[in-house]
Structure 1
Amino acid sequence: MIRIAFVGAGSVVFTRQLLHDILSYPELSGAAIALHDIDPERLQVAAALAAHAVRATGAEVTVTATTDRRTALAGADAVVNMIAVGGHRATVTDFEIPAAAGLRQTIGDTLGVGGIFRALRTFPVLKSLAEDMAEVCPEAWLLNYTNPMAMNIQYLTAVAPKLKVAGLCHSVYWTVRGLCEIIGVPHDEVDVLSAGVNHQAWILRWQHHGRDLYPDLDAAIAADADLARRVRVDMYRRLGYYPTETSEHSSEYVPWYLGHDGEIARLRIPVGDYVAISAENLAEYKELRKVVADGGDPAGGWESDAAEYAPQVIHSLVTGTPRTIQVTTPNTGLISNLPQGAAVEVPATLDRLGVHPHHVGALPPQLAAPNRHFLNVVDLVVAAAIEGDPRHIRHAAMADPATAARLTVEEIWTLCDAMVEAHGDALPEPLRRAPVVAGGAR
């Protein structure tokens, strides 16, 4: 039977949801699940949650927990990655230092200065994970949830080209659910085509029994002035296609909003939002830890109708059940007007043989343009890590639309200096060096 490894299982709330979804499939009876985390305390809490879930569902699975990653990976058929390198403390750093320099962020985990440095401290762990998988489970699928998704998948493709990897994110699912609620159409009756890059993909088609639903959305927006006060509704009205991430996320990937006080007020953008979200996640973990330590019942805490993709991939690998999900994957001509090899998000079919991305063709040009700006940053961050060139960190920040709209070039370089110093040993040694500047001191 299938063997599944969870890497970063100390993300206990997410681990609990994934376990709930996996245990809900009778066909996965007999599965072996190995939990891994480098934090023994978090791993203990995850193991307790898993044991409770198994008892509550009566599922016939075996669950083990270990701080030794290679032990967890050995013989795995699927590896679910959800690590958060640096945890809450690193997240606070990613916000406080840029904020002191005058840079506004909302989530900071995908693009911008926060996304750049989250990637750079995550890449070394991804590389060692890929190396371990090549030795102890070379045929396994790596199902990655860790952000920044596009940077992580593009980096893995570069350093481990034989690795079978798919980036998974539920943003398209929840976007479509939300849109259907706005216009009062059953979600399970609509057909959707979405493509672009993770956190900045686009709803290209959205239909109910063959009827285009965008006119219904237009009517809803026209009738509700409050609905129009959202970043992604504003983007939809101007670009013609709805973006697939929240307004908080979407505001960070373009130069149009966060640099303007009036736009922040008009569109109700919650600057610094993710610091509070991260703190809430930490508080929820501490509550669970206390329940477990006191011998209590850590019941509940999951979405009964969740659409997490990793359990669906695993179920299809075992049963051959065909289904379609969204994945981030290298662009092998899948989106013809985005760069070859870039990490793009497209539909993919699942079956017993794995994950099969769909060819989409060309995006409308007004959509491909912001995607290319997004992918420019991704390219430079990956180049910084592979080449060991600290200049490319600064180049990536200079290319980032929201950062460049807010800071001067010298301010960007000074901010990157401060971020490198703050993250210290979490970054590879070559990237901690002072960048060599053409023509002497800057």
Structure 2
Amino acid sequence: MSFKIAIIGAGSVGFTKKLFTDILCVPEFRDIEFALTDMNEHNLQMIKAILDKVVESNRLPTRVTATTNRREALTGARYIISCVRVGGLEAYADDIRIPLKYGIDQCVGDTICAGGILYGQRNIPVILDFCKDIREVAEPGAKFLNYANPMAMNTWAAIEYGKVDTVGLCHGVQHGAEQIADVLGAKSRSELDYICSGINHQTWFIDLRLNGRKIGKDELVAAFEAHPVFSQQEKLRIDVLKRFGVYSTESNGHLSEYLPWYRKRPEEITRWIDMSDWIHGETGGYLRHSTETRNWFETEFPQFLASAEKPIDPSKRSNEHASHILEALETNRVYRGHFNVKNNGVITNLPADAIVESPGFVDRFGINMVSGITIPEACAATCIASINVQRMSVHAAISGDIDLLKLAVLHDPLVGAISTPEEVWQMVDEMVVAQASWLPQYADAIPAAKERLAKSTVKTRDWAGAARRNVRSIDELRAEKAALKQAI
């Protein structure tokens, strides 16, 4: 087979390499072309050097090109994969820093909450530019695979306004299933079967089978509470399991952002999180992790390049959806996964226009979703609260309506549990002004926002959050890795 895959935001070096090697695990795909594109020429050349080394070491006919010209990369592409982070770590730092001044403590801040909503405002205009290029220069009927957050908002905009065949992809379901298989003592992941349904980062294991035997709430609670690691790292998720009756796919820290009961007061945050790793609830944890990862890669690039010489091992193919979807579409080997698509009856008790994450099967005829699923009422209630915020956020990003943006932030569950309307209005003005260079749709609103900020009487505070850690230096990271290696 010979076709072209374009990867936008290919400078996400580690993730791009994973997708690349996964796809090349499919024997029929050895003769395809990868077109890498990114705004950062430096990162782009680093990832191209790594992928070229993979191709050379494995003696493959695969072609790899790299360009900062997006339309050039998209021309003739059958599949387009997006891994973009618009604004990079600079804008992301504002997504965490500014809300903290108003008492809003986020662990990740890339889905909803104040940070996730502003992230969507930066991404959506760019997503629509991608879609325009796809319609104009990609292969007719090209499929857009979106990995970028905020997943639901980006996918919503691409489908409703970009008019491109789009599916949103995330690995939260797979990671949650790995935990469940572990606590239930499964000898392999294949022993566990499950149905997850909901919305991205709020998907729920509504049916669990271990070797065909149905697993109930009480058995699952007992298994998690007996686990020596997860009983400490996933305290919030276990509490939600007890109350809702089903386990969430999302990490302890991320889930705490959508269910405001656990993160609206500093003493509650420290009660429910675990500081053994960023993902369990640390303030700004993903920002710190992303910063350290970038710094580590920049410093240790020769090591990453050397590791690219290893042979591709199909037995180590990851469970990221992209390669499996492409394999099913091109070879008709059926793949079952959980995908982000427009609802339209997939989940009966969520709005039709929402982007839902639910089971589907892929073959040569496309992605075929299982329809008619009903999720538990408590799960639907929390999902609908987020969907309403997502809908307003998408419409604000399209229209450049700053008042609608403020209403979206006001209706966010965590923000609404902490901040007054006056605080929200000022916080959004401050975030829009700080990120103006990435928000072209709000250009006309920026001068008035600056004037309001100059006259504001709303008090803020200098607060690092309930559980903040400093970014570690390269020397500290090296020492930690060495100690871990020695312990093993």
**SS of aligned partner of 1:63:** strand
Hey, what's the Cα distance between the residues in 1 that align with 2:356 and 2:288? 29
Question: What does residue 176 of structure 2 align with?
Answer: 175
Cα deviations by residue, 1:227-278 (Å, 9 ceiling, x for unpaired): 1652111111110011111011100012111112332222123222112111
Hey, what's the Cα distance between the residues in 1 that align with 2:134 and 2:49? 26
Is the 1:328–1:345 contact (alpha carbons within 8 Å) kept by the matching residues of 2?
yes
Hey, what's the Cα distance between the residues in 2 that align with 1:299 and 1:108? 36
Deviation (angstroms), 1:33: 1.1
Structure 1: stretches of 5+ with no match in the other structure: none
How many pairs align?
Answer: 436
Question: What does residue 100 of structure 1 align with?
Answer: 101
The answer on 1:342 being equivalent to 2:337 is no
Cα deviations by residue, 1:65-84 (Å, 9 ceiling, x for unpaired): 11111111111111111011
1:426-437 to structure 2, matched below 5 A, reads 426-430=438-442, 433=445, 434=448
Question: What does residue 245 of structure 2 align with?
Answer: 240
Name the stretch that deviates more: 383-392 or 220-229. 220-229
Hey, what's the Cα distance between the residues in 1 that align with 2:300 and 2:123? 26
Deviation (angstroms), 1:388: 2.4
Is the 2:110–2:149 contact (alpha carbons within 8 Å) kept by the matching residues of 1?
yes
Aligned-pair Cα RMSD in Å: 2.3
Deviation (angstroms), 1:432: 5.5
Change (3 A) 1:278 1:432: farther
Hey, what's the Cα distance between the residues in 2 that align with 1:217 and 1:223? 10
**SS of aligned partner of 2:374:** coil
Is the 2:347–2:374 contact (alpha carbons within 8 Å) kept by the matching residues of 1?
yes
Hey, what's the Cα distance between the residues in 2 that align with 1:409 and 1:420? 17
Hey, what's the Cα distance between the residues in 2 that align with 1:337 and 1:331? 10
Question: What does residue 265 of structure 2 align with?
Answer: 260
Hey, what's the Cα distance between the residues in 1 that align with 2:97 and 2:340? 30
Question: What does residue 35 of structure 1 align with?
Answer: 36
Deviation (angstroms), 1:431: 6.2
Hey, what's the Cα distance between the residues in 2 that align with 1:112 and 1:58? 47
2:392 to 370, 380, 386: 380
Cα deviations by residue, 1:173-196 (Å, 9 ceiling, x for unpaired): 111011111121131122110010
Is the 2:21–2:317 contact (alpha carbons within 8 Å) kept by the matching residues of 1?
no
Is the 1:82–1:146 contact (alpha carbons within 8 Å) kept by the matching residues of 2?
yes
Is the 2:51–2:308 contact (alpha carbons within 8 Å) kept by the matching residues of 1?
no
**SS of aligned partner of 1:227:** helix
Hey, what's the Cα distance between the residues in 2 that align with 1:216 and 1:317? 38
Is the 1:28–1:318 contact (alpha carbons within 8 Å) kept by the matching residues of 2?
no
TM-score normalised to the size of structure 2? 0.85
Deviation (angstroms), 1:305: 4.7
Cα deviations by residue, 1:195-224 (Å, 9 ceiling, x for unpaired): 100000100111023212234322224445
Hey, what's the Cα distance between the residues in 1 that align with 2:319 and 2:263? 31
Question: What does residue 51 of structure 1 align with?
Answer: 52
**SS of aligned partner of 2:52:** helix
1:86-97 to structure 2, matched below 5 A, reads 86-97=87-98
Is the 2:183–2:227 contact (alpha carbons within 8 Å) kept by the matching residues of 1?
no
Amino acid at match of 2:440: P
The answer on 1:227 being equivalent to 2:231 is yes
Hey, what's the Cα distance between the residues in 2 that align with 1:377 and 1:432? 23
Deviation (angstroms), 1:58: 2.9
Is the 2:99–2:105 contact (alpha carbons within 8 Å) kept by the matching residues of 1?
yes
Change (3 A) 1:59 1:178: farther
Question: What does residue 466 of structure 2 align with?
Answer: none
Deviation (angstroms), 1:318: 1.5
Deviation (angstroms), 1:297: 5.5
The answer on 1:270 being equivalent to 2:270 is no
Question: What does residue 292 of structure 2 align with?
Answer: 280
1:346-425 to structure 2, matched below 5 A, reads 346-425=358-437
2:204 to 202, 205, 212: 202
Question: What does residue 65 of structure 1 align with?
Answer: 66
Hey, what's the Cα distance between the residues in 2 that align with 1:284 and 1:319? 38
Change (3 A) 1:288 1:358: farther
Amino acid at match of 1:311: S
Amino acid at match of 2:109: G
Name the stretch that deviates more: 417-426 or 379-388. 379-388
Question: What does residue 14 of structure 2 align with?
Answer: 13
Amino acid at match of 2:19: L
Is the 2:159–2:165 contact (alpha carbons within 8 Å) kept by the matching residues of 1?
no
Hey, what's the Cα distance between the residues in 2 that align with 1:362 and 1:333? 10
TM-score normalised to the size of structure 1? 0.93
Amino acid at match of 2:165: K
**SS of aligned partner of 2:261:** coil
Structure 2: stretches of 5+ with no match in the other structure: 274-280, 458-488
1:82-231 to structure 2, matched below 5 A, reads 82-137=83-138, 138-161=140-163, 163-185=164-186, 186-214=188-216, 215-223=218-226, 227=231, 230-231=235-236
Is the 1:389–1:431 contact (alpha carbons within 8 Å) kept by the matching residues of 2?
no
Counting aligned pairs with the same residue, the percent is: 34
Question: What does residue 277 of structure 2 align with?
Answer: none
Amino acid at match of 1:69: R
Is the 2:399–2:441 contact (alpha carbons within 8 Å) kept by the matching residues of 1?
no
Change (3 A) 1:158 1:53: same
**SS of aligned partner of 1:326:** strand
